[in-house]
Structure 1
Amino acid sequence: MFQNYMRRLFWLILGVAVSSIGIAMMLQANVGLEPWSVLQQGMSLRTGMTYGTASAIAGAAAILTAVLFGESFGFGTIINIAGCAVIIDAIQAAHLIPQMHGLVSGIAMLIGGLELLALGTWLYMKSALGSGPRDALMVALARKFGRSAGVCRAVVDVLVTVIGFFLGGPVGVGTIISAVGLGPLINLNFAAVRFKPAKVHQENAAETIARIAGKR
């Protein structure tokens, strides 16, 4: 049991780290951000908080809304929210990734970041320690309103993009590329490693505690 959880925790932390690097690359691409990043960067620019802090607040709000609608969360969800915030801020503070100033180089950086985000999503999901906060929100909204998760995601993506734009978040060609390309890129990565997320049960916090305590 202990070794199993250590292995899953390893994949979880690696996934969070890889995803965070991808998000930092997208920030430095300087050609527009994906919807949630537009919101989070807008929050950062408007309030002076770091991007990581804004990311943590947005993630916490997403999972809180999902919980209010009856969705559960796992310890991996919490690690996802906190880990991404810390790692992204550390990367940005250390200036590890240079900012792009050309359209071609910016798009190349953005696509590289999207690929790392897709890869990190696979690593995170294979740990099966809880849904990501935004994924949990999509599922909760789909159940609440009787719509598909895809429709709910599209509506939320438009909403957070608009709010982020009015807060000063960067919207550009990268926003369109991210909105259109991230889903198919994730699917391509999943297909390449033969990963079927629908067949993976994401363990919630109560289940994890029960299993560690030997009750399940």
Structure 2
Amino acid sequence: MAATGNFRYRPVRRLTQLYLGLVLYGTSMAMMLRSDLGLNPWDVFHQGLSRVSGMSIGTATIVTGVAVLLLWIPLRLRPGLGTVSNVLVIGLVVDGALALIPTDLPLAVRIGLLVTGIVGNGLATGLYLGARFGPGPRDGLMTGYAARRPGRSVRLVRTVIEIAVLALGWLLGGTVGLGTVAYALAIGPLAQFFIPICTVAPPPEPTTGPTAQPERAVPAG
């Protein structure tokens, strides 16, 4: 059973969780932006691209997502509903949330926004990945590239890509600061905590009937 493409098991729960996670992701991204204390590597790039192009940061996020999806083609990766939704929903939500969150906030409020944004981002990651409709375009690129290069870990590939994205974003004028370091230290443990809790398990394979898997013989001794 293909977990990312089968709508027949718990579709309402999974779809609700997917879009709740994407909305929360865009909102948490806006909170970190309004904190003005530093962003995660990809959002540093999104912000830098927004500043040099004149696009809104949400539009820059969507454009970047589409460009990354094009890089899936040589890796022969197939996007799922969650992948396409990730590209569109997060960018729209972050622009909407930025319109609602005021600017020029006191430092204590900005720190609160940063902390809440990082934790919310970890929960959002668990929700949309746990819905099992496919990874986001950036995560898929990292895991897909690692799979095509035997011997290279996902962690190494992710680190190299994110350092490159962070450096380019900083050169374009994106915000690098305390929040960037805090995100780098916290997002791994947060995702590791939330993903198992939020993952919607597929139904068990049947043990009887025509579709049941035959039992394997156990060798004597």
TM-score of the pair, normalised by structure 1: 0.82
Kindly provide the amino acid, as one letter, of the partner of residue 143 in structure 1: A
Match of 1:34 in 2: 40
Following TM superposition, by how much is the alpha carbon of 1:108 offset from its aligned partner in structure 2, in angstroms?
2.7
1:163 maps to what in 2?
A: 168
Secondary structure of the residue aligned to 1:76 is helix
Question: Gapped runs of 5+ residues in structure 1?
Answer: 201-216
- Measured against aligned partners, the alpha-carbon deviations of 1:37-71 in whole angstroms (never above 9, x if no partner) come to 00000000000001111111111222221232122
Q: Which moved more, 1:5-14 or 1:130-139?
A: 5-14
Matched with 1:206 is none
Matched residue, 2:145: 141
Q: 2:116 aligns with which of 88, 112, 117?
A: 112
Instruction: Check whether the contact 1:31–1:103 (CA below 8 A) recurs between aligned residues.
Output: no
Q: Which residue of 2 aligns with 1:67?
A: 73
Residue 178, structure 1, aligned to residue 183, structure 2: yes
Give the C-alpha shift of residue 144 in structure 1: 2.4
State whether residues 30 and 100 of structure 1, in contact with CA within 8 Å, keep that contact through their aligned partners in structure 2: no
Give the distance between the partners of 1:161 and 1:100, measured in 2 at CA. 25
More helix by share: 1
Query: Which structure has the larger Rg over C-alpha atoms?
Result: 2
Contact kept? 1:30, 1:99, Cα under 8 Å: no
2:23 to 14, 17, 23: 17
Deviations 1:64-123 (A, max 9, x none): 21232122210111111100111111122xx32233655554333112101111111111
Q: Which moved more, 1:42-51 or 1:142-151?
A: 142-151
Please give the alpha-carbon distance, in whole angstroms, between the structure 1 residues aligned to 2:168 and 2:117.
Answer: 23
1:80-99 to 2 correspondence within 5 Å? Answer: 80-92=86-98, 95-99=99-103
Query: 1:190 deviation in Å?
Result: 3.5
Aligned residues: 195
Change (3 A) 1:22 1:166: same
Where do 4+ consecutive residues of structure 1 move more than 3 Å? 1-4, 99-105
Which of 193, 210, 216 matches 1:188?
A: 193
Identity %: 34
Partners in 2 of 1:196 and 1:11 — Cα distance? Answer: 10
Aligned equivalents of 1:154 and 1:3: distance in 2? Answer: 35
Q: Report the alpha carbon displacement of residue 3 of structure 1 after superposing the two structures with TM.
A: 7.6
| Unaligned segments of structure 2, at least 5 residues | 1-6, 203-221
What CA distance in whole angstroms lies between the structure 1 residues aligned with 2:193 and 2:11?
28
1:26·1:114 contact (CA, 8 Å) conserved in 2?
A: yes
Secondary structure of residue in 1 paired with 2:26 = helix
Structure 1 residues 196, 150: closer, same or farther in 2, change over 3 A?
A: farther
Q: CA RMSD in A?
A: 2.1
- TM-score normalized with structure 2 length: 0.80
